[in-house]
A and B are shown apart, each in its own frame.
Chain A
Amino acid sequence: MTAFLNVMRFTFLRREPVLWLLLVILPVLVSLFAVTLFNSRTPLHLPVGIVMQDESPLVRRILQNLESSPVIRVARVCPDISECESAMRDGDLLGVIQIPPDLERRALRGEAPVVPVYLSGQSLVAYNMLFKEIQAILGTISAFLDRRNLPEPVSVQIHAVNNPAMDYQMYLGLGLVAAIFHLAAMVVAVFLAAEPLREHNADRLLAAANGNYRVAIFARLVPALVFLWLLSLFFITWVHSRAGIRLAPPDFAFLAAGMFMMLAACMAGGMAWVAISGSMRIACSAAGVLGGPSFAFSGITFPLEAMPLVVQIFAKCLPLTHFLELQTVLMFGSAGRFAVTEPLAVLSGMTLFWLLAGTAWLGKRLHDTHFHGGHPEEDFA
């Protein structure tokens, strides 16, 4: 126990600004970013332009309805389509509604005049929102023109399960927070495991740990793991409370266990890459290659099933994929509890695998005299 505390003291109570940046400052700042980015919950005030070639009461009504929508902001009224098109290319507008000449007269004459709408497909989130909103607004006005007011024989009621408010903070914010801690755990583990090798003071670390390499490794990694775990739970709980989600205690316990196992798997992985490569730089590159794009591979933004098989296999090797699966399942409440065991078991298996692969190997490196004899000011004990 004394050895454990000794290693901890000389790992965390030293002037090492990079460690504090990686362990505390950057995870906090980037998580704050992920939470505040989606403050508006759903996209609002998306700028669209209107090409007005008719100024009848019907068109004024269309304009009023568009302006009263929280999703749309009529940012520009263009005399012709080319001006609005240019504004779309420079990013000022996301869509253009072209009101054709004599719209009202032709509609009342029963000619069914078409209203062309041009939307930029380059921003899919905005595109989908505008698509639905413009279709609904113009559809309502079109129905108003039908004096018989016949109802649709078959309509669709769409219910959003798992995220009823269609809140992007829940959808992307939560996922990004998990992805940030996934990366943080890898990078911090690489730093902590490789620093004694880089500074050539592994001998002093072992001395502080009474010669026990397991104590030397775990006393450096475990406190960081616990800290990152508590920090990540704070952010996840914060997002939940903002979105009005209250997980039942057993579900929260599963979520906390899943987060712990994910971070443990990432830290064990980071430690193992240091053991294998013997170099902070190479292990850090591995963390970057695996942890950096992990959110893109997790299946949240683009379904796993639609990815090529080789990518699906790779995605399944990332702890984040399994944690996000667990998180999604828990949003179903009691209906999803039966499905929590699989991701938890996979995450535990990953942790065990990397621990077995890395601990003894890193121990060997710590005993290697090549990594001994560094500067006394970098001393551990």
Chain B
Amino acid sequence: MKTLLVTALREWSYFFRDRAAVLLLVAASLFYAFYYPLPYLHQIPRESPVGVVDRDNSNLSRQLIRYTDATEQIAVYEYYPDIQSAAKAMAGGKIFGILEIPADFERDIRRGGSTAVGLYGNAGFFMVYSAIGKGLSLAAGTISAGIKIMRLEAEGYSEKEAMVIRDAMPVSIQTLYNGSEGYGNYVVPAVLMVILQQTLVIGIGILGGARADRRLSVRNSKPKKPEPLYVRWIGRGLAYLIHYGLFFAFYYFIVYSVFGFPARAQILPLVFFVFAFVSASIQMGFFFAQFFKHRESSMQIFLYCSIPFLFVSGFSWPLTSIPEGLHILFWIVPTTHAIPAWLSVQQMGASLQEIAKPIIHLGILAIAYGSLGYLMQLWKERKYLSSSGTDRRK
């Protein structure tokens, strides 16, 4: 046990002595924790600029424009004489949408008819497009409801009756877990998991990636008689586990509170999750580090993988719409299981039972990567010892 702890502490001290490791295992994890959430500091886009083409220019059309401008999603940016000039402004990026009010808008309504206003939104920016659609629907719906109730009252219904006729079965949609619909709350927790896994796997690759100076290897061990491989393996893993356990605490207590992300985790599922996820990532790192000839190769290769690792987890694009083949292919990546589990634990306050499945999957990954990596290392060490023995005999 003592040897194990000594090995872990010795390995941990390497993190701070090797400049490249300090950069990745300490600085990068700290830096990224503040760097990624920055764009989403304001959480939701407000007051998106919209152009107006008012062909009616009546009291009612001006009222609709005022209501639209009053919504938090939309700011009326400019009036345009025709749709072409407004489209040009949208192509130039000045506005994200065009509200077109038809001619005779007020006259048609006063005659008891109905009319439609047009919204042309730039769907190249889905988030703004959705927000503008919601804002205008709200403004038009408010005006429409008022007119409908007035018409029913004119037919002799009471206000209460008119309201029931207008909407006989109202729907009340409640948003759970991210009540503000904030973009930061949605993206950042998932990205943080990818950051942790990537810095860990790349960091392990950098510290142990070069075949010539891999410290796990017997040929570079400082003591004359190195500790058995299992002691070095577990001790080294322990160093990373402690290091990244501290990072989780840092993310949970500092980053989450700085950016105001919801933190609803219960202690027991949180501890199990951290242990399973970090262990799986460490063993994945140990396994892949065996293949790199140069220290920076792990960084170059895993840099490409961040996008697939993030998107395949289903946090953004729903799991039901991801092709089955990709699910199977990425099953071997810890974040595929860790991101949904982390969102369940941290954002939704899930119990241990509710996240049992991903925890088991992470455990399987840790054991599988650990066994493969260990056997590979064992084989290499035996090969090295037998070849050095042959050399000595010669």
Given A119-B173, A151-B114, A156-B117, decide whether A307 and B124 contact each other with a Cβ distance below 8 A: no
B304 touches A180 (CB 8 A): yes
B144 touches A114 (CB 8 A): no
Instruction: Judge whether A127 is part of the interface by a CB distance below 8 angstroms.
Output: yes
Residues of B within 8 A of A179 (CB): 307
A114 touches B294 (CB 8 A): no
Residues of B within 8 A of A187 (CB): 300, 303-304
Partner of A142, one of B92, B147, B169, B348: B169
Given A154-B109, A305-B45, decide whether A18 and B297 contact each other with a Cβ distance below 8 A: yes
Instruction: Judge whether B25 is part of the interface by a CB distance below 8 angstroms.
Output: no
Given A141-B169, A142-B167, A280-B296, decide whether A338 and B92 contact each other with a Cβ distance below 8 A: yes
Partner of B118, one of A159, A299, A338: A159
Stretch at the interface among A131-139, A228-236, A366-374: A131-139
Residue of B nearest to A329 (CB): B91
Instruction: Judge whether A91 is part of the interface by a CB distance below 8 angstroms.
Output: yes
Rounded to whole angstroms, the CA-CA distance of A122 and B180 in the bound complex is 10
Residues of B within 8 A of A183 (CB): 303-304
B124 touches A163 (CB 8 A): yes
Partner of A21, one of B118, B177, B301: B301
A120 touches B177 (CB 8 A): yes
Rounded to whole angstroms, the CA-CA distance of A160 and B96 in the bound complex is 11
Proximity string of chain A (103-143) to chain B, C-beta cutoff 8 Å, 1 when within and 0 when not? 10001001111111111111111111001001100110110
Rounded to whole angstroms, the CA-CA distance of A135 and B173 in the bound complex is 8
Proximity string of chain B (44-72) to chain A, C-beta cutoff 8 Å, 1 when within and 0 when not? 11101100000000000000100000000
Stretch at the interface among B240-248, B251-259, B308-316: B308-316
Given A30-B307, A37-B317, A171-B123, decide whether A161 and B90 contact each other with a Cβ distance below 8 A: yes
How many B residues face the partner with a CB closer than 8 A?
Answer: 121
Instruction: Judge whether B176 is part of the interface by a CB distance below 8 angstroms.
Output: yes
B186 touches A152 (CB 8 A): no
Instruction: Judge whether B237 is part of the interface by a CB distance below 8 angstroms.
Output: no
Interface residues in B114-158 by Cβ distance below 8 A to A read: 114-130, 133, 136-137, 140-141, 143-144, 147-148, 151-152
Chain A interface size range = 35 or more
Residues of A within 8 A of B318 (CB): 43, 46, 94, 123, 125-126
Rounded to whole angstroms, the CA-CA distance of A184 and B141 in the bound complex is 48
Stretch at the interface among A201-209, A218-226, A281-289, A349-357: A281-289
Stretch at the interface among B33-41, B214-222, B224-232, B378-386: B33-41
Given A120-B176, A160-B123, A332-B90, decide whether A40 and B321 contact each other with a Cβ distance below 8 A: yes
Given A117-B171, A121-B176, decide whether A306 and B326 contact each other with a Cβ distance below 8 A: no
Interface residues, chain B, with chain A CB atoms under 8 Å away: 20, 23-24, 28, 31, 35-36, 38-42, 44-46, 48-49, 64, 84, 87-88, 90-93, 96, 109, 113-130, 133, 136-137, 140-141, 143-144, 147-148, 151-152, 161, 163-181, 183, 185-187, 191, 206, 293-297, 299-301, 303-308, 311-312, 314-323, 325-326, 340, 343-344, 347-351, 354-355, 357
Interface residues, chain A, with chain B CB atoms under 8 Å away: 18, 21-22, 26-27, 30, 33-34, 36-40, 42-47, 73, 86, 88-91, 94, 103, 107, 110-128, 131, 134-135, 138-139, 141-142, 145-146, 148, 150-164, 166, 168, 171-172, 176, 179-180, 183-184, 187, 190-191, 198, 280-281, 284-285, 287-289, 291-293, 295-297, 299-303, 305-308, 310-311, 315, 325, 328-329, 331-332, 335-336, 338-339
- 10 tightest A-B contacts by CB? A121-B178, A160-B123, A336-B91, A145-B168, A163-B123, A332-B91, A306-B45, A142-B169, A154-B144, A90-B354
